[in-house]
Amino acid sequence: MLIRTALAACCILVTATSAFADDGLLQEAKDLFEPIPVGAPEIEGNPATPEKIELGKMLYFESRLSESHTINCNSCHAIGQGGVDMLETSVGHRWQQGGRNAPTVLNSVFNTAQFWDGRAKDLEEQAGGPIINPMEMASSHEHAIEMLNKIPGYAAKFKAAFPDDSNPINVENMLKAIALFEATLITPHSPFDRFLRGEENAMTAEQKDGLRLFIDQGCASCHNGINIGGGMYQPFGVVEKPGADFLPPTDKGRFEVTKSVDDEYVYKVPTLRNIALTPPYFHTGKAWDLRQAVAVMGSTQLGADLSDEDVDKITAFLHALTGEQPQITYPVLPPSTVDTPRPKP
């Protein structure tokens, strides 16, 4: 049985490779991209255990980490909605609206850095940001830890997740647990990934045409690698600056982090994985139409005036980047007691 399966897989691979021998599409794609693995990737210095992931899931859904007790990670990075909130910019503490569109949590473990401006080097650092951002969860790390210490049910959960720590409820462990859970939020088996693994018919003819254009027009020079993006920084408007709606002059992107003029209006190239699930687009969230976003990218980044037909094909290819969505059992959170700090809505 094992041998038969292996042989079958081998045959599929051979067939697929031959089918694209004429224009080398599969080989070019393999050189540029990498499929999402099936299991969660390891995080250096933060080895995974089921207890740590379970704790991280609880914290991901834990609204009491916010000042008002109404906002949690999942509020803006909703697991059942492509890992986003489908808003232009998120609604945070006391209905303040954030400055940039919420990026997807899905596959974010594969990004070079986190946030649109890359100001967090990894998921652990990222997870600490929104908790203390006065526009978002508006708490402090000290208060978050006090809160977790005063919800009695968390003591055993942290102990199980970090058995060697004498005082396991601390900021570092909170962020490690959240990051490990987030690393499980990956979406393998998209049609494109199945194609990359040699399954010729996983993508439609139109999607393959779109991939050909995506490579030939130059999209793949930035949107490449395992996340088809997420691996570098680029100015928005390499060839031609977009209008102020898409690129308001007040937000200078990575410049805010590095203070280098070279980084003005520079952003992390976003992942295109599951992009069909995550409107609206761009850091402003002002593009609701994926076709429009493709056309704008063509003109601003590549100086290409893509035809409607080409936009359609590239958009069709982008739909092939939707993978299998995470199946998460909603966590049961421990109750507050009379000693738990109260919400301040």
Residues making up the chain, counted from first to last: 345
Euclidean distance between CA atoms 185 and 183, whole angstroms: 5
50 binds a second copy (CB under 8 A): no
> Does 345 engage in binding with a second copy (CB under 8 A)?
yes
Q: Which stretch binds a second copy (CB under 8 A): 22-30, 79-87, 160-168, 189-197?
A: 79-87
The yes or no reply on residue 61 touching a second copy (CB under 8 A) is: yes
Question: From residue 292 to residue 311, what is the string marking binding to a second copy with x (rule CB under 8 A)?
Answer: x-------------------
Does 13 bind a second copy (CB under 8 A)? Our answer is no
136 annotated active-site: yes
Nearest distance, CB of residue 254 and a second copy, angstroms: 27
The yes or no reply on residue 279 touching a second copy (CB under 8 A) is yes
For the record, the structure tokens of 130 come out as 């929104």
Q: Which is nearer to a second copy, 57 or 313 (CB)?
A: 57
32 binds a second copy (CB under 8 A): no
| Shortest distance, position 313 Cβ to a second copy, whole Å | 17
Active-site position among 34, 136, 142, 146: 136
Q: Please pick, from the candidates 276, 302, 304, 312, the single residue that binds a second copy as defined by CB under 8 A.
A: 276
DSSP string, 132-200: H-TTTT---HHHHHHHHHTSTHHHHHHHHHSTT-SS--SHHHHHHHHHHHHHT------HHHHHHTT-G
Nearest CB to a second copy, comparing residues 43 and 91: 91
Q: For residue 280, say if its preceding peptide bond is cis, omega within 30 degrees of 0.
A: yes
Contact residues for 64 (Cβ-Cβ < 8 A; gap 6+): 147, 151, 336, 340, 343
Least Å distance between CB 87 and a second copy? 6
C-beta closer to a second copy: residue 2 or 338: 338
Instruction: Please report, for residues 45, 297, 333, the alpha-carbon distance to residue 238 in angstroms, rounded to integers and kept in the order given.
Output: 37, 10, 47
The token pair that represents 14 in the structure block:
């051979």
The nearer residue to a second copy, 79 or 296, going by C-beta atoms, is: 79
Could you say which of 36, 55, 79, 147 contacts a second copy (CB under 8 A)? 79
| 168 binds a second copy per the rule CB under 8 A | no
| CA nearest to 108, candidates 55, 153, 41 | 41
Smallest CA-to-CA distance from 327 within 187, 155, 148, 140 is with 187
How many angstroms separate the Cα of 340 from the Cα of each of 57, 146, 157, 301?
A: 21, 9, 17, 51
Q: Which window, 22-30, 93-101, 119-127, 259-267, contacts a second copy (CB under 8 A)? A: 93-101
Residue 31 belongs to what H/E stretch?
helix 25-32
Identify which of 59, 50, 39, 298 has the alpha carbon closest to the alpha carbon of residue 172: 59
Q: Does 91 bind a second copy (CB under 8 A)?
A: yes
Q: How far is the CB of 230 from a second copy (least distance, A)?
A: 20
Query: Closest Cα to residue 227, out of 18, 51, 41?
Result: 41
CB of 20 to a second copy, least distance (A): 30
The two structure tokens encoding residue 164: 């060697």
> Among 330, 343, 307, which Cα is nearest to 79's?
330
Residues 22, 95, 166, 250: which binds a second copy (CB under 8 A)? Answer: 95
Residue identified by tokens 């499980």 is 184
Active-site residue set: 136
Residues that bind a second copy in the complex, under the rule CB under 8 A: 61, 63-64, 68-70, 75, 78-82, 85-88, 91, 94-95, 97, 276-279, 288-292, 325, 327-333, 335-338, 342-343, 345
